[in-house]
Structure 1
């Protein structure tokens, strides 16, 4: 039996042409993705504050890094600004998602928090109003957040959490722990959610460190293990400058696999002055 050659045999030129076309499409797709990543990175960094407020006896620093692979970007933020009652407000949070939309939504949350904090300085009330504001925007995204007020007269922190990871604290006499204060649901999920406020009197010098879960959690790195690593660093560096401590804490993200962007906010405080 004689085998007939197919009438449409694929030539080497056809294969090379097809391969070239597929390669061009793949390159175009990669360049488009890279452009989206660069846009998200630029948007994220432009929205983060250039400086954070402080007073004598309180030094503040923050650090942010995108994910190691450069694709998960845009959701984490930190901020700080003076409030109308003379206290200082600080926030840190994480928007669901890692893209340009998440970066834009993060900017809206930061603006929303600043807006409501002009009329409500209680941290729980700030989060409650911000939650209602985000729900009114009818967005499919939500965000975890911690909001902290530093009172330079009472020398205390008033804190509220919206589904966010616990802060880590340490004093220069070696004590440390996790501020697992009672909190509420993340912002943008349920109308009418309330956010309890916890007071922390700063009787000893030390550090209060807020962070996002990108610092302490990864594909094969449990959150509890990451928190323990951060607690050790904060305990050992409770008397360090806030910028140095923030940089050291951010290194924990390298242990997790760094699959998410990460942010750290350090409040380095002196002991409460005598009455």
Structure 2
């Protein structure tokens, strides 16, 4: 709309200069449709050139604004930095461009380029050094324009294979005085030197790059700290007689990387291993806090009351309602008892949790599906049934939370089918390796936390004899 107005004004003004009537009269010395003369023609040419410059500047500013908005909406840092260097090079008409990211020691840790081929990378190396013109660029907190690179006193010889560049425009990437990198370009396609407008555009995009890098580093610190906090809430596995155990916790891919999933294993006073996996509703600090409360209470109840799992879950539900208002959570609680010399008996109850996955030494994997109880937090008055299953030695048992089998693209049933299929293929591997590959099979992005507890059942009599 603004361009249309600018064009209309230029057209009317041109008519007035070229002999249009003013106040109903033709300018003195002029005639209808007469010649402007040399001075009038020159003014018209200047006016037309100014209008072209205004239109070009308006277009560049609009593209700059679009670029900043695109960068602001980009969550993945590398994609944002590639966008910055590519858009910047286009806006300043540069043949070559680069955005270098510095680490905390002030050395280049990553580089995003424009107009440089893979062959050049192989010839000169992927990361520049902080010497020469780049050193001067980083030493001063302002843009740097060089019309003749080869004649500049700070220039050093190009390495073999490096394209010869004649002009340079660069700026440090700063946030509150801290250098995060450099953004620089060489050789306009038109062959002209870089301008003040080019400098301002590059400075604006360098500011956007600084914010993107700082946000990414802040995101990473938050992710790392919350993940460490979450892991600190989870217990180490004890020695479990006759069992090889492996536990894994994997946070969701989004911040906060903290939630209510947990695993646990303790040895009860009667020598029986007690196994737990659970998931508190929610994905935040509150869920992690509630999870810690439930996990600790369940440990105490299971240790003090060698009762069937359903009775322990009922006691837990009563206490949670009385003390915490009944937070919602799903739990699977199991006892794994020796049963003869070559078998085990699994006795378990669930509070709305997914069934265990059994991988026998021979035969297909199968879920131990049984009547599930209601989740914690609904009401402590409803009964939960106990279940049992005889399991031969050598089998593998997987207890897990729904983050391992569910995502936004697929339902739980499809995820459970995939888990059973993959686990069957991996059942002969060492249990630690098996767990790692089960998590890797889900990809590198999880929409929910994952807690996984895997157990391989040995020969009870033989292990005790050792």
Normalising to structure 2: TM-score of the pair? Answer: 0.50
1:155-166 paired onto structure 2 within 5 Å: 155-166=344-355
Tell me the distance in 1 between the aligned counterparts of 2:440 and 2:220.
25
Tell me the distance in 1 between the aligned counterparts of 2:241 and 2:352.
29
Equivalent residue number for residue 356 of structure 2: 167
| Pair 1:113-2:298 in alignment | yes
CA contact (8 A) 2:278 2:329 kept: yes
Shift of 1:90: 0.8
| Pair 1:125-2:315 in alignment | no
Tell me the distance in 1 between the aligned counterparts of 2:362 and 2:403.
29
Tell me the distance in 2 between the aligned counterparts of 1:146 and 1:246.
19
Name the SS for the 1:245 alignment partner.
Answer: helix
Name the SS for the 2:245 alignment partner.
Answer: strand
Q: CA RMSD in A?
A: 3.3
Name the SS for the 1:244 alignment partner.
Answer: helix
Equivalent residue number for residue 150 of structure 1: 336
Tell me the distance in 2 between the aligned counterparts of 1:152 and 1:110.
25
Equivalent residue number for residue 63 of structure 1: 248
| Pair 1:261-2:449 in alignment | yes
Higher helix share: 2
Higher relative contact order by CA 8 Å / sep ≥ 6: 1 or 2?
A: 1
Shift of 1:204: 4.8
Tell me the distance in 2 between the aligned counterparts of 1:230 and 1:77.
19
One of 256, 259, 272 as aligned partner of 1:87? 272
* Displacement over 4 Å in runs of 4+: 26-39, 271-274
Identify which range, 168-177 or 238-247, moves more after superposition. Answer: 238-247
Q: For residues 127 and 181 of structure 1, do their structure 2 counterparts lie closer, same or farther at Cα, with a shift above 3 Å needed?
A: same
CA contact (8 A) 2:358 2:397 kept: yes
Shift of 1:29: 9.8
CA contact (8 A) 2:267 2:274 kept: yes
Shift of 1:72: 4.9
Gaps of 5+ in 2: 1-174, 176-207
Tell me the distance in 2 between the aligned counterparts of 1:40 and 1:112.
23
1:230-269 paired onto structure 2 within 5 Å: 230-254=419-443, 257-269=445-457
Equivalent residue number for residue 227 of structure 2: 41
Q: For residues 205 and 30 of structure 1, do their structure 2 counterparts lie closer, same or farther at Cα, with a shift above 3 Å needed?
A: closer
Equivalent residue number for residue 238 of structure 2: 52
Q: For residues 238 and 31 of structure 1, do their structure 2 counterparts lie closer, same or farther at Cα, with a shift above 3 Å needed?
A: closer
Shift of 1:84: 1.7
CA contact (8 A) 1:168 1:178 kept: yes
Equivalent residue number for residue 396 of structure 2: 207
One of 390, 413, 418 as aligned partner of 1:224? 413
Deviation string 1:70-108 (CA, Å, 9 cap, x unpaired) is 335221100000112221101001111111111111111
Tell me the distance in 1 between the aligned counterparts of 2:327 and 2:386.
25
Shift of 1:34: 7.2
Shift of 1:38: 5.0
Identify which range, 42-51 or 260-269, moves more after superposition. Answer: 42-51
One of 306, 309, 321 as aligned partner of 1:135? 321
Shift of 1:252: 3.9
Q: For residues 234 and 273 of structure 1, do their structure 2 counterparts lie closer, same or farther at Cα, with a shift above 3 Å needed?
A: farther
Name the SS for the 2:432 alignment partner.
Answer: helix
CA contact (8 A) 1:167 1:179 kept: yes
Equivalent residue number for residue 4 of structure 1: none
Equivalent residue number for residue 6 of structure 1: none
CA contact (8 A) 2:335 2:346 kept: yes
